[in-house]
Amino acid sequence: MKRIARVVCCCVLVLATACNGGGSRDPVAREPTAVSTLVVALLPDENAATVIQENQGLKTYLEETLDLPVELVVSTDYSTMVEAARRNKTHLSYFGPLSYVIARSRTPLEPFAVRSRNGSTTYQAVLIGNREQGIDSFAAVEGGTVALGDPASTSSRLFPQLRLAEAGLHPDVHYRTVFLGGHDAVAKAVERGFAAAGGLSRPIYDKLVAQGAINPDKLVVLGHSRPIPQYPWTMSSGLPEDLRHAVRESFYMLKEPAVLQPFQADGFAPVQDSDYDGIRQAARVLGLSLEALVTDS
């Protein structure tokens, strides 16, 4: 396979020591620093071991194209992932849209790629109800418990709550909220009746159904959110420019189905920060503080 970034190795002798970004929270660009192992952070929206295993193909692909060792990491929650990026502990990070917006407010990450499927770079959240409890409409959710993923999740918190608000239902007024971390945990909690309803990523829900991990006969699809911009791949501002270029190209050229399958994607497309202004607006509509989301999660 073509080596995109062999020139990276020559940077090791001339670039400065890594900056950990430990002081200010202002998003100020870091000085470029040498990279001996590329640390790639994956979103903890499912079981960590599953996420790591499913992305071994990506690890191999990046090692071959970038000519660098790659370490995959999955944090315990979104807040930890944001903090790792802020402290320059990770080089590439695969954020959800909301967790990206939070991270971007604290450190100058560059969003460079989003997954594309059938020409689309958006996805939706899905809201599901427990069939046995008779949760077959938004109105039936009132008075019950709604399971959500991480407090900083886009499709398992922000947009499900936005869709519920559009139906006249508000947390702590019309329903109780429980945060379970992973999208798979949300689906299973609703399936088993531990929660009346729940919200999660529609692609993850479809995958869980296809894998037989949940039984759709025990669930009712209550509705879907409006389109959401896809999960962005980001890179640290402290990476050398030649490596940054090589990383972008490696993602844009990626067409191997086995590597793309965990992302349910046909490939990756360019993206920019302004594509996530709608996420910022949705947070404002719900009265959510980005700083509080990091602190509370």
* Burial class of residue 118 (count of CB atoms within 10 Å of its CB; 0-12, 13-18, 19+): exposed
Angle at 22 between CA 93 and CA 95, to 5 degrees: 15
pLDDT classification of 297: cutoffs 50, 70, 90: very low
Transcribe 213-224 into DSSP letters.
SS-GGGEEEEEE
| Residue boundaries of the structural domains of the chain | 6-18+29-120+230-296, 123-228
Q: What's the predicted TM-score (pTM) here?
A: 0.75
Residue 75, CA distances (Å) to 16, 45, 49, 68, 189 in order: 27, 10, 11, 22, 22
Q: Cβ(156)–Cβ(148) under 8 Å?
A: yes
Identify the architecture of domain 6-18+29-120+230-296 in CATH.
3-Layer(aba) Sandwich (3.40)
Tens digits of residue pLDDT in 103-159: 999 999 999 999 998 899 999 999 999 999 999 999 999 999 999 999 888 999 999
Give 158-196 pLDDT, tens digit per residue: 999 999 999 999 999 999 999 999 999 999 999 999 999
CATH of region 123-228, choose from 1.10.1060.10, 3.40.190.10, 1.10.3720.10, 1.20.1250.20: 3.40.190.10
Confidence tier at 76 by pLDDT (50, 70, 90) = confident
**Is the four-CA dihedral 90, 78, 183, 119 of positive or negative sign?**
negative
Instruction: Sheet containing 145-148: give its strands across.
Output: 176-179, 145-148, 197-201, 125-130, 219-224
d(CA 189, CA 128): 11
Pairwise CA distance, residues 28 & 107, whole Å: 7
Written as six digits, the tokens of 155 are: 């499709």
